[in-house]
Structure 1
């Protein structure tokens, strides 16, 4: 017996982080995976990691997955549609409307094309960073269009299920508006804030804590890739940025005139709206619930973090998230552990019994 859903051989074009991760996950299901990339080294590395085999001219895949940068997605998809006239072709680019428009302009057979977008990734790229479990539990958008039915694209949904992701159906325009809000604009906001640090004094940077790290974490991203993404989704991104600019302009005015009637209320309402917005962000497994945070002090010695995590597991508590903070030159660090609210007080008591120092909780 096998739990395989996907019955087609799969050809993956682009042996980077996403392509190799898809390949690794499919190989665990026994799927025949072939790989191609403009870089022979990338293919060789992916093959060495067990992600499949190099493609040959005799291969007849039933499904082709294009994992290349946005500015060459459409031409690559068109080439694969022509090279494999019986195959279904998809891509994993983070924008969907522009590639579809380009494919139609190229005269490609879009009745065999359905774009997708896995909402997963890592800060590092390339086949060496690939993981078979990268997509487990993550949303994976199927961006439908009038030229193809979801029924005909069933093999793509099979692939998504096989790698452990959660299929989400939406149109190309809805997808692009959605990712502008939850991914593309946050990238720009993080980068803009991080850019302020270039001219900041050493004293200010030395005081950096978890708040600044949270805001700027995604700023360390691939500049070339993000320029492509933002240009391809300029309309939705610009619309949200203009609204954000209006919010900031109102806040600046309120801060510059603190005694003006309504200024404090305007500031409070923006902060309150921020609280409400954060509460809407889905948590683990897509549930919109908040977690309690427990901050544990850990000595800066080998094995302490591993011991803390082991003991939390021994206590039967499921850790939802973990963040680490360490001040330069300090002999201790802080581990912020997120747990379900109902587990908070019990975990605090049991950790203290085991000698851990609790620096705070919320």
Structure 2
């Protein structure tokens, strides 16, 4: 299998590493900026490297691949998708939001060869230096059928399974609504907690619970800008729902009434237990 990975950071590099580890004979072409391609990690994880600024070379790499994987930030995926669909046989992406990316494919006559995706995996550090062959092992990988042909979807689904991930199918709209709550709001909450701790000079009292709750607070703002812009409505809705829940708790606590807070804690405890 020949894989063309456009965007060779943590996710792209880990896809390359996992493909090589699990699919003997797999060949990986890395497409990124020349400065990225010069790193020892990228060179070790790829068989060929193509400078993203060399349009004809990128087109040749896409055309020669069995699968093109767009593993860049959302805005870069939107910009690259048209070219990928024009030249590649099969295309998937790893964008953190899906509606904007799906919309950018609607005008392509080859949109049936595109399977939108989002691996729910990551790490504390970005870049190919942090890439791991086991990053996707046992992790969910959302796939959105949208306009994809049945054959294209089946092939990408098989590829995801081969990397050790578990495919989960949902629409782009369902995806964006879900990850607003499970990924995007937690990022904002973690960031807010760190800022408030600094403001209150509470650092000396931070323990394991605080560390766990704020693990993702070091997110790269450049990456998060695309996410916030393309999923603003769902994030705002989730924040409003969460805010209403917390406001109710705060109102009761201001009257020294802990019942709303205790009910929230008990409901969460029961939900966690039911998940096994």
TM-score by length of 2: 0.89
Q: Kindly report structure 1 stretches of 4+ aligned residues shifted beyond 3 Å.
A: 55-59, 277-280
Q: 1:243 aligns to what?
A: 241
Aligned match of 2:91: 89
For residues 150 and 279 of structure 1, do their structure 2 counterparts lie closer, same or farther at Cα, with a shift above 3 Å needed? farther
Report the CA distance between 1:88 and its aligned residue: 0.7
Q: Which residue of 2 aligns with 1:213?
A: 211
Question: Which residue of 2 is the match for residue 25 of structure 1?
Answer: 18
Residues of 2 paired with 1:50 and 1:271: CA distance? Answer: 45
Tell me if the contact between 1:63 and 1:155 (Cα under 8 Å) persists in the aligned partners: no
The structure-2 alpha-carbon separation of the partners of 1:52 and 1:157, relative to structure 1 and needing over 3 Å to count, comes to: farther
Q: Work out which of the residue numbers 257, 260, 274 in structure 2 matches 1:266.
A: 260
Correspondence for 1:9? 2
Residue 351 of structure 1 corresponds to: none
Note if contact 2:8-2:42 (Cα within 8 Å) is conserved in structure 1: no
Name structure 1 gaps, 5 residues minimum: 1-7, 281-287, 290-362
The answer to which structure has the higher strand fraction is 1
Higher relative contact order (CA 8 A, sep 6+): 2
- Shift of the alpha carbon at 1:108? 5.7
Q: Which has the higher helix share?
A: 2
Aligned partners of 2:152, 2:105: CA distance in 1, in Å? 18
Q: Does 1:111 align with 2:112?
A: yes
Which string of whole-angstrom CA distances, capped at 9 and with x for unpartnered residues, describes residues 197-240 of structure 1?
Answer: 22222xx3112111111111111111121121122111221111
Distance 1:142 1:150, change over 3 A: farther
- What does the per-residue CA deviation read over 1:145-188, in whole Å, with 9 as the maximum and x for residues that have no partner? 0x223433222122212211111111111111121121111111
Instruction: Answer whether contact 2:27 2:46 (CA < 8 A) is retained.
Output: no
Which position in structure 2 is the counterpart of 1:34?
29
C-alpha offsets along residues 69-104 of structure 1, whole Å, 9 cap, x if unaligned? 1122112111111233xx111100011111111222
Give the 3-state SS of the residue equivalent to 2:240 in structure 1.
helix
Greater gyration radius: 1
> Structure 1 residues 239, 159: CA separation in 2 closer, same or farther (over 3 Å shift)?
same
Residue 61 of structure 2 is aligned to residue 61 of structure 1 = no
Over 3 Å counting, the alpha-carbon distance change for 1:52 and 1:158 in structure 2 is farther
Query: Could you tell me how far apart the structure 2 residues matched to 1:238 and 1:157 are?
Result: 31
Match of 1:276 in 2: 270
8 Å CA contact retained: 1:14, 1:66: yes
Whether contact under 8 Å (1:24, 1:52) holds in the other structure is no
1:99 aligns with one of 98, 101, 109: 101
**SS of corresponding position for 1:12:** strand
- Scaled by the length of structure 1, the TM-score of the pair is 0.69
Task: List per-residue Cα deviations over 1:294-350 (Å, max 9, x = no partner).
Answer: xxxxxxxxxxxxxxxxxxxxxxxxxxxxxxxxxxxxxxxxxxxxxxxxxxxxxxxxx
Q: Match of 2:53? A: none
| Residue 83 to residue 176, structure 1, CA distance change in 2 (3 Å) | same
Deviation at 1:47, TM superposition (A): 4.0
Q: Give the aligned partner of residue 227 of structure 2.
A: 229
The offset of 1:52, in angstroms, is: 2.9
Counterparts of 1:148-227 in structure 2, within 5 Å, are 148-201=148-201, 204-227=202-225
Instruction: After TM superposition, list the pairs within 5 Å mapping 1:43-82 onto structure 2.
Output: 43-45=37-39, 46-55=41-50, 58-59=60-61, 60-82=64-86
| Aligned counterparts of 1:193 and 1:74: Cα–Cα separation in 2 | 32
Structure 1 residue 58, shift from structure 2 partner? 4.9
Q: Secondary structure at the match of 1:240?
A: helix
In the alignment, what sits opposite 1:299? Answer: none
